[in-house]
Amino acid sequence: MSHSPVSEDLLIDLTPDAASSRAGPDHKERRGVMDCIRIEGGRRLDGTIAISGAKNAALALMPACLLTDQPLTLTNVPRLADIASMITLLGQHGASVDAAFDGAGGDTRRLTLQARSITSATAPYDIVRKMRASVLVLGPLVARHGFARVSLPGGCAIGTRPVDLHLKALEALGADITLAGGYIEARAPSGGLRGDTIVFPSVTVGGTENALMAATLAHGETVIENAAREPEITDLATCLTAMGARIEGVGTNTLRVEGVSSLTAATHAILPDRIETGTYALAAAITRGRVHLSGTRADLLHAVIEHLEETGVSITPTEDGFVVDARDRVLRGVDVMTKPFPGFPTDMQAQWMALMATADGAAMITESIFENRFMHVPELARMGADVNIHGGSAIVRGRRRLSGAQVMATDLRASVCLVLAGLAAEGETIVNRVYHLDRGYETVEAKLAGCGAAIERVRG
C-alpha cells in the first residue's frame, strides 16, 4: 500500500496497521490512552465549515471493490477511524489499497481498492465487532466468490440490531446460510446466485446495500421491494452502475437489477455527509451563531432543514451549500419523529435533543428506528437538560441554560450531541470516550475551532 501521510496530527492515519489500532476502544484502553474533548461553552459559532464525504456511503462503496478484480477508485473519502477499519478488513480479504490523502491538488482523499482475487472470505470477529458496517462484505463476497464467513456483529449501544433481513435477502437469491460459532456462513448455489424478488418487511439501509451488491452479479433479474431510499444507497447504485451494473429505480423503493457476469473498473466521487452537515447546522443553531456549510447539498437533508426553519433559524442556499443563521433568534421547540429517508434521520435525533434543550417551550422527540437510542439523555441531564422519556418518545422542556459537566458518550451520535450541548453550556464540558467521535467526525475540534469555538482535544 502506498500512503501519503499528512502533517496535521489530528487526521486519522489510514495505513492498515494504524487502522487496526485506532478502530476501537480496547487498544486505547490497553495503552491507557483515552483522549477527551474539552469545551469552554457559550461562544457563538461564526465562519465556514467544509463538509467531508459521507462516512456511511463510503462504508458501503468500499466493499463494492470485492465485486470485481478491477480497481475501484473513490474520491472525497472522509478521513475517519471507520474508514481505516474497513481498509483493514478489505485488505485481509485480498484487496490492495492505495490511498492519497496529501491535502494538495485534485487527487486528494482518494482511495483505490483492487481485489484481484479473494484471498480470504472470512470477516473476523475482531473487526466486525468494532464496526457493524463490516457485514457489508457479505453480499459482494457471496456474489463473486461463492462463499463468505462473516462474524455476527452482536448488539450495540443503540439496540440489538440484528442482520436477519440481510440474510433473508441473500437466501432469496439462493444462498444457503448457516450460523456456526458466532459466524454467518453463506454459500451461493453451484452456478452462482439467482435473481429473484426480495421483499423487505421493514426498511433496512444495510440490508438493501447487501442485497443490491449481491444482485449485480446474480443470474437474471432481482427486484428489491421496500428498498431503503437513503442518499447513500443512491450513491452506491450510481457507483455500481459506473462499474457496469444494470440497475433501475434508483432513488425509489423498488430497485430492479439485471445481473451481469462481471463488473469493471470505475471512479466515483462520494457524496457529502448529510449527517455531518446536519450536525454542524445544529451547532450553529445551538450557539445562536451563523455558519456557512460548504461542499454539501441541502437536498440531502430536507427534513432536518424544514424542522430547523420551524424553530426560527434561517437557512439560505449558496453555490456549494447553505448558510445557517440563528443570530439574535429565540428558537422554538419543534417535535420530530425519526423515519427512514426522506424522513427525519435517526442519526440526527441526539443532536436535535441537545438543540431542543436550549429552545423555548417543549418538544417531543420520537425514535422509531432503534429501540434504545436515548442513551444520551442521562448525560444531557447532567448538563441541566430537562428530558423525560416515555417509551419511544422523549419530552424535552427547553429554555434552560445548560451547564458544563464531565460527560461520557455511548455511541457516535450521542458523543456529538454532548459536544453540541457543551458549545452552548456555561463553563467547561469534558466529553470522554472520544474514539466514538473519531469514527464519524473528521477533525471535529478543528472544524468547530475554525468558527470560534473554544474546543480542544486533550490527549489521554
Selecting among 36, 65, 156, 417, the annotated active-site residue is: 156
Q: How far is the CB of 368 from ligand UD1 (least distance, A)?
A: 9
Q: How far is the CB of 9 from ligand UD1 (least distance, A)?
A: 27
Q: Is 65 a catalytic residue?
A: no
Give the C-alpha separation, 113 to 279, whole Å: 30
DSSP string over 107-166 = T-SEEEEE-SS-S--EE-HHHHTT-GGGGGGHHHHHHHHSEEEEE----BTTB----HHH
> Residue count at the site for ligand UD1 (CB under 6 A)?
20
- For position 162 contacting ligand UD1 by CB under 6 A, the verdict is yes
Give the C-alpha separation, 212 to 209, whole Å: 5
Give the C-alpha separation, 4 to 15, whole Å: 9
Select the span of 35-43, 69-77, 203-211, 251-259 touching ligand UD1 (CB under 6 A).
Answer: 203-211
**Smaller CB distance to ligand UD1: residue 82 or 325?**
82
Among 81, 143, 165, 214, binds ligand UD1 (CB under 6 A): 165
- For position 74 contacting ligand UD1 by CB under 6 A, the verdict is no
Select the span of 142-150, 201-209, 212-220, 393-401 touching ligand UD1 (CB under 6 A).
Answer: 201-209
**Smaller CB distance to ligand UD1: residue 56 or 279?**
56
Helix (H, G, I), strand (E, B) or coil at 246: strand
Select the span of 20-28, 156-164, 300-308, 313-321 touching ligand UD1 (CB under 6 A).
Answer: 156-164
**Smaller CB distance to ligand UD1: residue 63 or 71?**
63
Q: What is the DSSP letter of 372?
A: T
- For position 346 contacting ligand UD1 by CB under 6 A, the verdict is yes
What the block records as the C-alpha cell of 58 is 463510503
Alpha helices in 107-220 (DSSP H): 125-128, 138-145, 164-172, 205-216
Give the other-Cβ count within 10 Å of 26's Cβ: 12
Give the C-alpha separation, 146 to 189, whole Å: 8
340 cis-preceded (ω within 30 degrees of 0): no
**Smaller CB distance to ligand UD1: residue 149 or 229?**
229
Give the footprint of ligand UD1 on this chain (CB under 6 A): 56, 59, 132-133, 159, 161-166, 202, 204-207, 346-347, 369-370
Residues with catalytic annotation? Answer: 156
